Amino acid sequence: MSEGSPIIRFYRGSAIIGTAPADPETPLVEIAEHAGVTIPTSCTSGNCGTCLVRLVRGTVELPEELPPGLDEDLVADGGILTCCLYTSGSCDIDVIPPL
């Protein structure tokens, strides 16, 4: 990672468990794998919600119509689906999803 490049930091609660460079063409779940972080998936299309995590800091582009595995309440609590969402900037992501 070059200095100043956007990175994704993965946490479990307050403990950092991995980092990897942000890539606007790679889903967050694959970036997590590059960081050595396993996020469970099932459908890989945003339908089931298995890959739900919490966005703590940063921006993830949400589609105009939310995927079935995500709703407005989850989004309000920072919920994002890592299988089908992307970011080009730095983010902090807690692998513990909003409840």
What predicted TM-score, i.e. pTM, was given to this entire model? 0.92
Q: Domain limits of the chain?
A: 7-94
Mean pLDDT across 53-70: 95
Give the pLDDT confidence score for residue 88 in this predicted structure. Answer: 83
Intra-chain end-to-end CA distance of the chain, in Å: 33
For residue 79, the tally of other CB atoms under 10 A from its CB is: 21
Domain 7-94 fold:
Ubiquitin-like (UB roll) (3.10.20)
Give the pLDDT confidence score for residue 3 in this predicted structure. Answer: 60
- Is residue 6 predicted with pLDDT exceeding 90? yes
Backbone phi and psi for residue 42, each to the nearest 5 degrees, phi listed first: -135, -70
- Over residues 63-75, the pLDDT tens digits come to 999 999 999 999 9
Burial state string for 42-76 with b = 16 or more CB within 10 A and e = fewer than 16: ebeebebbbbbbbbeebebeeeeeebebbeeebee
